[in-house]
Structure 1
Amino acid sequence: MSSLNYHHLRYFRAIANEGSLTRAAERLKLSQSALSTQLRSLEDSLGQPLFHRQNKTLVLTEAGRIALDYAQSIFRSGEELLDVLRNRDSGRRQVLRVGAVATLSRNFQLTLLRPLIGRSDVELIIRSGNLRNLLAQLRAHTLDAVLSNLPVHRDAETNWHSHLLDEQPVSLIGLRTRTQKKFSFPEDLRTTPLVLPSLDSNIRVAFDLVLEQLGIRPIIAAEVDDMAMLRLLAREGAGLALVPPVVVRGELDTGLLVERHRVAGIRESFYAITPSRRFPNPALAEILRKENSSKEL
């Protein structure tokens, strides 16, 4: 059984941080050929390639990303030793990197990730962005999963899995008023300002189709691609917001906002997108198992 050489790990970490054998060799004051030999020795020891070449840059493979996480943890152990001897508490933490599209409900994200929040053994890194950029990070192994309201189909280059986590109804929601009359759907849509998600949203596309079939041209007060902003506009009374109630759960509970009409036939879906990996993140597997178990109950 081969043993792990910690000098090799140190050299590997330098190459990963620099993205180049040449720059890493200069930093370590080694020849490039010697550093390349050390890297090959580590790859042979682990039985996995740690980099692939992209243009003139070395990019981590999936195994390389995992090896780098462990290397960082190993080298942090020296710092932890100092912390312990100086009576400062320190503990190792597993890192879970999650990307979330901007149109996804923050309340839903919080509910999904709540089992990991506050745990001493888990560090959460949450990044927001558009689906295209987040999938690029997933492909580069810098994210473990992407949370989205749209599934992603597999193709020849990417073996994605879109795990359906939940489905939520969609409603028109607005401020509570003292002289509030009953909302008449669809007639009142002709005179009521609306705050709608952007056309990138599946619920917007479905809602537009409903309006087209009803022969109604909506009054669009605002169109946003961020659910947090949509929620704020609803709180400001900009118009009736088309959202899953989970997005504004707190405001509904306090009575600030009210559900004026639940739109039949439109539901928001929530997905966790993951690639096929030989080394799945245990923290991610844990929350996906819990989510599937709750759906089965």
Structure 2
Amino acid sequence: MSRLNYHHLYYFWHVAKSGNLTQSAQELHTSQSALSSQIKQLEHAMDVTLFERRGRKLILSQAGQQALILAQDIFSKGEELESLLKGDLQSAVQPLRIGVMSIMSRNFIEAFISPLLQRQDVQFTLVSKGITNLLHDLSNHQLDVVLSNVNVAVDAGNLWQVQLLGRQPLSIVGPPTLKPQRDFPAGYQDFRWVVPGKQSEIRASFDAFCSHFQFEPNIHAQVDDMAMLRLLARDSGSLAVLPKVVVKDELAAGVLIEYLSLPKAFEHFYAITVKRSIRPPLLDELLSKSIFR
């Protein structure tokens, strides 16, 4: 008979993921001493050391790191099964749980979910958070997909599958009445700018473009949130750097116009999923469609 106690293994897995015994004890509604005792019983039964104590910190041993990878697979499959059973896949209404980065363009998100809007057999949920929390929920099968404009590393140690959904060229936009009469950079010297924050790929592309021309823009505002960048592009009277999808309504109405498209500069949009034996057919339908035509 196997010496492996899966209840003890579950406790190990929970602590190994969080890296915090106190937090895990609270989430598992047990005491720290009881949690520590059960992990020690697992180590004794398997004749292995899973954690090493360094001060107040618990550090995974080499054996613990290997055990975590396998335990992740075991309990992820269990959570997937629970999710499938609770979801009642035979129901007439298909559920879909979509996580979106809180700083992303709402127009892009709307374009992604547009095939769902007129369907009577679909119930979808949108959850907006930072990328770290979204990936945590995705790994725990609380989400079916995460939409991101930031790529995530894929390697043997994680479960991510990343699909490029599309990309949009970056543009300089502004009010029709302010369009420069001369080419960049000469015609753009006297304007103020609203741009994405320094950590974004868009900003890096714009900075490289400016550096090529030895142009120093007069930055009025730096904004990470695309919804706020859209409002500032519309209302501030400054020039803005963003993908046209962010301000598609303003461009269509003539409130803003495109002054210049930045060469070889794009914002990329990704769908992040986890490796699952079964996933909602509805998700495959969405991922097979091209968002930008």
How far apart, in 2, do the equivalents of 1:124 and 1:192 lie? 43
Q: Is the 8 A contact 2:98 2:145 kept in 1?
A: yes
How far apart, in 2, do the equivalents of 1:240 and 1:62 lie? 50
How far apart, in 2, do the equivalents of 1:104 and 1:183 lie? 32
C-alpha deviation, 1:207, in angstroms:
1.0
Secondary structure, in 3 states, of the residue corresponding to 1:67?
helix
C-alpha deviation, 1:252, in angstroms:
0.5
The alignment's C-alpha RMSD in Å is 2.9
Q: Is the 8 A contact 1:183 1:260 kept in 2?
A: no
The 3 A distance-change label for structure 1 pair 125 and 60 is: farther
How far apart, in 2, do the equivalents of 1:64 and 1:209 lie? 45
Question: Which residue of 2 is the match for residue 190 of structure 1?
Answer: 189
C-alpha deviation, 1:100, in angstroms:
1.4
C-alpha deviation, 1:204, in angstroms:
0.8
Equivalences for residues 170-181 of structure 1 within 5 A: 170-177=170-177, 180-181=179-180
Equivalences for residues 102-117 of structure 1 within 5 A: 102-117=102-117
User: Does the alignment pair 1:149 with 2:149?
Assistant: yes
Q: Is the 8 A contact 1:183 1:261 kept in 2?
A: no
Question: Which residue of 2 is the match for residue 158 of structure 1?
Answer: 158
Letter in 1 for 2:223: V
Question: Which residue of 2 is the match for residue 71 of structure 1?
Answer: 86
- Unaligned segments of structure 1, at least 5 residues: 1-17, 23-52, 54-58, 78-90
Secondary structure, in 3 states, of the residue corresponding to 1:127?
strand
Q: Is the 8 A contact 2:175 2:237 kept in 1?
A: no
Letter in 1 for 2:227: A
Q: Deviations over 1:131-178 (max 9, x none)?
A: 22211111121111111122212133313121111111110111222x
Which range is displaced more, 155-164 or 261-270?
Answer: 155-164
Equivalences for residues 23-38 of structure 1 within 5 A: none
Question: Which residue of 2 is the match for residue 231 of structure 1?
Answer: 230
Question: Which residue of 2 is the match for residue 97 of structure 1?
Answer: 97
TM-score by length of 1: 0.68
Equivalences for residues 261-276 of structure 1 within 5 A: 261-276=260-275
How far apart, in 2, do the equivalents of 1:238 and 1:130 lie? 30
C-alpha deviation, 1:220, in angstroms:
0.8
C-alpha deviation, 1:210, in angstroms:
1.8
Question: Which residue of 1 is the match for residue 243 of structure 2?
Answer: 244
Secondary structure, in 3 states, of the residue corresponding to 2:216?
coil
* Amino-acid identity (%): 37
C-alpha deviation, 1:106, in angstroms:
1.5
C-alpha deviation, 1:92, in angstroms:
4.2
How far apart, in 2, do the equivalents of 1:183 and 1:256 lie? 21
How far apart, in 1, do the equivalents of 2:160 and 2:228 lie? 30
How far apart, in 1, do the equivalents of 2:274 and 2:107 lie? 25
User: Does the alignment pair 1:200 with 2:199?
Assistant: yes
TM-score by length of 2: 0.69
Question: Which residue of 1 is the match for residue 124 of structure 2?
Answer: 124
Letter in 1 for 2:149: N
C-alpha deviation, 1:113, in angstroms:
1.2
How far apart, in 2, do the equivalents of 1:260 and 1:167 lie? 19
- Unaligned segments of structure 2, at least 5 residues: 1-25, 31-67, 69-73
Equivalent residue pairs, number: 227
How far apart, in 2, do the equivalents of 1:205 and 1:181 lie? 23
Secondary structure, in 3 states, of the residue corresponding to 1:168?
strand
C-alpha deviation, 1:249, in angstroms:
0.8
C-alpha deviation, 1:288, in angstroms:
0.9
Secondary structure, in 3 states, of the residue corresponding to 2:86?
helix
C-alpha deviation, 1:291, in angstroms:
3.0
C-alpha deviation, 1:72, in angstroms:
6.0
The 3 A distance-change label for structure 1 pair 183 and 227 is: farther
Question: Which residue of 1 is the match for residue 59 of structure 2?
Answer: none
Q: Is the 8 A contact 2:99 2:129 kept in 1?
A: yes
Q: Is the 8 A contact 2:180 2:188 kept in 1?
A: no
C-alpha deviation, 1:190, in angstroms:
3.0
How far apart, in 2, do the equivalents of 1:140 and 1:19 lie? 14
The 3 A distance-change label for structure 1 pair 183 and 132 is: farther
How far apart, in 2, do the equivalents of 1:72 and 1:169 lie? 39
Letter in 2 for 1:170: L
The 3 A distance-change label for structure 1 pair 62 and 249 is: farther
How far apart, in 1, do the equivalents of 2:244 and 2:280 lie? 31
Secondary structure, in 3 states, of the residue corresponding to 2:156?
coil
